[in-house]
Structure 1
Amino acid sequence: MAREKIQIRKIDNATARQVTFSKRRRGLFKKAEELAVLCDAEVGIVIFSANGKLFEYASSSMKDIIEKRSMHSKKILLDKPSLDLNLDNCNFESLRKTVTEETQQLRKTRGEDLKGLSIEELQQLEKTLEAGLDRVLEKKGDKIKERISGLEKKGLQLKEENTRLRQQMELDMSTVGKQVVTDPENGLYEDGQSSESVTNASHSGGPQDYDDSFDTSLKLGLPWKESNATMMQ
């Protein structure tokens, strides 16, 4: 009679579960031992029961098997590129492709490398260049208007400053050249001189009495003192 197939699921009865664990554990260790002997393999098995009890089997030394497994895992990590490295490579390829495409487009906008373009592509390129030129001209016009506005404002400021300086200079000149009598009774002027001193000063510059000796000395080419002394003798 064929053995009935057991459904693989957790055994609810604790006693039956413990009995099944013991039987299956012994059978697993026996199969591991057979595999190690028949195939000359290193086999290590570690089992923790539901209660946390440790059961293990090793065909040689469990420590050596664990160390060999750790070294093998490290070697796999070194030989196999990491996920981050793969992502970096993908990003690099994507960036390189983008740079290549943008470089080709830039060359086309410069009028280079136009071979192989269809009429539609050339028309589209022409529209793109015209749109870009319009934006450049518009920006240039705005800059020119800003510069003109700044120069006009600066010119207005200079004009106002020039007017202020001219008024200040006229005020200073009128203050210096103005002659006003401050005391009409005594005849004193603004500079502190009397009318008599001013009159004398004006007459002091008049012609002096004519001196014949001085004229004679000039005609003879002699110093005035020597000619005067000769005439007195």
Structure 2
Amino acid sequence: MVRGKIEMKRIENTTSRQVTFSKRRNGLLKKAYELSVLCDAEVAVIIFSQKGRVYEFSSSDLQKTVERYQKNTKEVQIDMPHTEQYMEQAKQEIANMVKKIELLEVSQRRLLGQELGSCSIEELQEIDGQLEQSLRSIRARKAQLFNEQIEQLKAKERLLLEENARLYTKSGAKSSTKQTEAIRNFIPSCQTSEVETELFIGLPEMRFG
């Protein structure tokens, strides 16, 4: 048979309430004993019935357990003021940080040219000085980057010129070699060919070999 869920409220019937108290009390004391044995914990349970009867369980001396509890409670109460003081300091630091963030946001908007209507002449002069200083820093950084890029381009130019000179030298050597070989091949052919250079006056049939 499935046990139904019991509604958590005071049992009105006196007899039923007394029976439930006895069962639950014994079950609670048993669980306390099991907890002390299984987990090697110092456990103490004190129960007062509706009629004022005392039921208790302690894994060790009950008085020592109670004294230990009281001592621990006092230490917690002593530490509470320090904890509260720490919390107050933390809240104050958070509030200060929020104010600083708000001021920084206002300053940033003013540097962008926003919300200037409420600024005095002194504040506008201060903003103008900040902008001038920022521009000088930006221009200096810009000039530095330009110089670095120019140096990099010059280095690339030198490498390209060196490579070009190397390729030109290599190409010139090959062209000279080919011309030399062509001249060497041409000279023997000129020497072995017969070219007639005599001057002859008269008719062709009168020419002697």
Relative to the length of structure 1, the TM-score reads 0.45
Structure with the greater relative contact order (CA < 8 A, sep ≥ 6): 1 or 2? 2
Say which structure is richer in helix: 2
